[in-house]
Chains A and B, each alone.
Chain A
């Protein structure tokens, strides 16, 4: 069975600085998808970034980028130029095509300090 581990329950970063959130996963599959979702306080969860396992190039979305290490089964999220609006719970998620379910980590609570 697949598992997703986020080992940092809480993190903080100063505004305008860079922070990296860690995620590791365990699977014997070769084809899968990885995601980072953001859940702001009392607001809906939204997709931050997605990575297909068959793509070697790391995904980027504006200030958000990932470091995908397939062999190490690691999928970290880097947030550059952190903003107060980045304060949220961040969840790493794994999905095997055809299963129709996402496996989420326990989340990392990120606080951006002014």
Chain B
């Protein structure tokens, strides 16, 4: 089975722009979660989707949004980028609802905001 695939792997944007990141989960996994990883902050939960429904959302401003498609692929969007949005964005999928199961992570999308 292919692992979790995230695209793009690296991107550079300027303040005020918007960005869309994509995540393809492991085949058969219906739960997709997104995390922001920054040095010193660890991983911060952004949101979780299951069967196209957002079931939980972290404490991020409304500029951060996401969605999940019927094939379980997910996208997250950040609008009006700020310097502080520079981070590694990790997507993770889970075979069952992300309740007790292991999370399978992608390699991440590294966003740099100039």
In the bound complex, how far is the Cα of B78 from the Cα of A90, in angstroms? 28
In the bound complex, how far is the Cα of B50 from the Cα of A16, in angstroms? 42
The answer to whether B43 touches A91 (Cβ under 8 A) is yes
Q: Which residues of A contact B42 (CB under 8 A)?
A: 6, 91, 104-107
- B44: nearest residue on chain A (CB-CB)? A104
| Per-residue contact bits, chain A 68-108, to B (CB 8 Å; 1 contact, 0 not) | 00000000000000000000000101010111111111110
**How many of B's residues come within 8 Å of A, CB to CB?**
27
In the bound complex, how far is the Cα of B100 from the Cα of A52, in angstroms? 9
- B46: nearest residue on chain A (CB-CB)? A101
Q: List B residues 10-47 near A (Cβ within 8 Å).
A: 31, 33, 35, 40-45
In the bound complex, how far is the Cα of B31 from the Cα of A98, in angstroms? 13
The answer to whether A100 touches B41 (Cβ under 8 A) is no
The answer to whether A106 touches B99 (Cβ under 8 A) is no
A46 on the B face (CB < 8 A): yes
| Per-residue contact bits, chain B 44-72, to A (CB 8 Å; 1 contact, 0 not) | 11001010000110100000000000000
CB distance from A114 to the nearest CB of B (A): 26
Interface residue from A97, A104, A106 paired with B100 (Cβ < 8 Å): A97
A64 on the B face (CB < 8 A): no
Q: Which residues of B contact A28 (CB under 8 A)?
A: none
Q: Which residues of A contact B100 (CB under 8 A)?
A: 33, 52, 95, 97
**Contacts from A to B (Cβ < 8 Å):** 6, 33, 37, 43-47, 50, 52, 91, 93, 95, 97-107
**Contacts from B to A (Cβ < 8 Å):** 3-4, 31, 33, 35, 40-45, 48, 50, 55-56, 58, 90, 92, 97-100, 102-103, 105-107
